[in-house]
Amino acid sequence: MLRIITQSAEINTELQRISDRPYRDEIQAKEVAVAEILERIKHQGDQGLFAPFETLTTPTNLKVSGSDLDAAYQKISKELLDAIQTISQKLESFYGQQLPKPWVKFEDDDVVIGKRYTPVQRAGIYVDWDQGSPISRVLMQTLPAKIAKVPEIILVSPPDETGKVPPDILVAAQVSGVNQVYRLGGAQAIAALAYGTQTIPKVDVITGTGGLDVILAKRMVYGTVNSDTPVDASELFIIADRTANPNQIAADLLAQVEQDPSSAVVVLTTDLSLAKKIQSKVQEKLQDNVHGILSEKAIAHYGLIALVDSLEQAINLTNQFGPHYLVLTLGEPWDVVEKIRSVGSLFIGQMTPKAIGDYLGHGGVILPPSGLIRYASSVRVETFLKPSHLIEYSPTALKNLANVLEILALAEGFPASADAINLRLREEDNDQR
């Protein structure tokens, strides 16, 4: 049952327990096995990949063929294809707004400064489907890379029992601009993307979610390649007042755990009557929930209604926790928006369920682990771009600043830097003579 907690000390304890979930006891045991997989594939390439598998015995089995990609369109309904295409178009428009603009500024004394952005050469997208069809995760990883104009987008996904990647994933991949698809999952897939093999090319950036082996593998290869921040599990917080609809909130909580049974769902409210109504509605909806015992366990383990003393306390608890998603079901939600500092995505008002963001990108899909929202962010167009600064100084500009630069360089113990500046000025003076 969804619990109601009224004491501040207990609320803090429970939020800390939720923040520490899941996997913590499993990590040490898994790290050794994942490290061995990475090392094997790093040095053995394809041979290291195929050794553990019976169904994948040749390199040609890894890559999804063009005929399989074409056939995928015939294996999904027209309604689903139309939905994928519609959402893809809306997401392209959304991510297009994120594309940073290069700039150049011409200052006094012929100084030119600027900034430009260039895409990485190759992006690796990991897509798992153990919790159902991940169409939205495909689109929300690949479309930012497409908008960034990444020349080569590679998707890897585990095969099913027949050795195939599900057709809806293949269609979503093609609609969103993926160039190559490979049948491979787990730490093996991350290693192949990070180090490259004879079959799978090395990438520059890896994004995507998976089980603990994928999380650990991404952490271990970071530095060899760039990566989104590995996610373990997500959180949905809802701040609600007496104007909120308990039926809607109950539906939002179940929608979240339906997607991720390890997800935390927390309601913060000052209204005990509302809390009891939400608790009752959740219990009622669980009776007919298609995910049954799985959702019920998720609610019991990581669900919570916290009765707080004030709206300010609710905001402070949210900022301290840093959840991935926050829904403001308040009479005047915009009054508190500026006070919310540490959330991944903010959904405002009674008619904005978090489910909107699941399919239109506004909520992000690959998010940092619990608490890291305070300084990290979701997969976005910038994930696939490399910024670089542009600087040009004229002789006059360098001369005017030379004394200041020399003082700083010598103060920091870098005489060669001071000489690199003064040498240019001396040679410039000689040339003019």
Q: The dihedral of CA 93, 94, 96, 97: what is its sign?
A: positive
Which position has the higher pLDDT, 378 or 348?
Answer: 348
User: Per-residue pLDDT tens for 68-90?
Assistant: 999 999 999 999 999 999 999 99
Q: What is the DSSP letter of 211?
A: S
Q: The dihedral of CA 30, 33, 38, 41: what is its sign?
A: negative
Predicted local confidence at residue 24, as pLDDT: 53
Q: Is the pTM of this model over 0.85?
A: no
Query: Among 93-102, 170-179, 187-196, which is the least confidently predicted range?
Result: 93-102
Task: Yes or no: say if 140 and 91 are a contact pair by the CB < 8 Å rule.
Answer: yes
Q: Which CATH superfamily does the domain covering 27-227 fall into?
A: Nitrogenase molybdenum iron protein domain (3.40.50.1980)
Confidence band for 288, pLDDT divided at 50, 70 and 90: confident
Rounded average pLDDT over 253-281: 90
Query: Across the strands, what pairs with 104?
Result: 114
Predicted local confidence at residue 190, as pLDDT: 95
Within 13 Å of residue 307, how many CA atoms lie on the same side as its CB? Answer: 15
Average pLDDT, the chain: 86
Confidence band for 426, pLDDT divided at 50, 70 and 90: confident
Whole-number Å distance between alpha carbons of 326 and 252: 11
User: Per-residue pLDDT tens for 171-190?
Assistant: 999 999 999 999 999 999 99
Question: Which residues fall within 8 angstroms of residue 309, CB to CB, at 6 or more apart?
Answer: 8, 270
Predicted local confidence at residue 21, as pLDDT: 63
Question: Which residues fall within 8 angstroms of residue 48, CB to CB, at 6 or more apart?
Answer: 37, 40, 41, 42, 191, 197
CATH code that applies to domain 3-22+232-360: 3.40.50.1980
C-alpha triplet 317, 318, 323: angle, nearest 5°: 135
Predicted local confidence at residue 49, as pLDDT: 85
Predicted local confidence at residue 52, as pLDDT: 52
Share of the chain above pLDDT 90, in %: 54
pLDDT at residue 376 tops 50: no
Which position has the higher pLDDT, 234 or 275?
Answer: 275
pLDDT at residue 362 tops 60: no
Query: Across the strands, what pairs with 371?
Result: none
Whole-number Å distance between alpha carbons of 16 and 12: 6
Predicted local confidence at residue 268, as pLDDT: 97
Query: Across the strands, what pairs with 349?
Result: none
User: Per-residue pLDDT tens for 230-263?
Assistant: 555 678 999 999 999 999 999 999 888 887 777 8
Whole-number Å distance between alpha carbons of 173 and 123: 13
Q: How far is CA 49 from CA 18, 22, 33, 225, 238, in A?
A: 36, 28, 14, 19, 44
Whole-number Å distance between alpha carbons of 364 and 199: 31
pLDDT at residue 379 tops 90: no
Please identify which residue in the block is written with the tokens 């308040």.
330
Q: The dihedral of CA 348, 349, 354, 358: what is its sign?
A: negative
Confidence band for 57, pLDDT divided at 50, 70 and 90: very low
Predicted local confidence at residue 371, as pLDDT: 47
Rounded average pLDDT over 360-387: 62
**Fold agreement between 3-22+232-360 and 27-227:** yes
Quote the longest CA-to-CA distance of the chain. Answer: 92
Helix (H, G, I), strand (E, B) or coil at 138: helix
pLDDT at residue 97 tops 70: yes
pLDDT at residue 370 tops 80: no
Predicted local confidence at residue 363, as pLDDT: 47
Please identify which residue in the block is written with the tokens 């056939």.
71
Query: Among 54-58, 129-133, 349-353, which is the least confidently predicted range?
Result: 54-58
**Most confident range, picked from 10-19, 109-118, 150-159, 206-215:** 150-159
Helix (H, G, I), strand (E, B) or coil at 123: strand
Query: Across the strands, what pairs with 385?
Result: 119
**Most confident range, picked from 24-28, 186-190, 422-426:** 186-190
User: Per-residue pLDDT tens for 105-139?
Assistant: 999 989 899 999 999 999 999 998 765 568 888 99
Domain ranges of the chain: 3-22+232-360, 27-227, 394-432
Helix (H, G, I), strand (E, B) or coil at 326: strand
Whole-number Å distance between alpha carbons of 425 and 313: 61
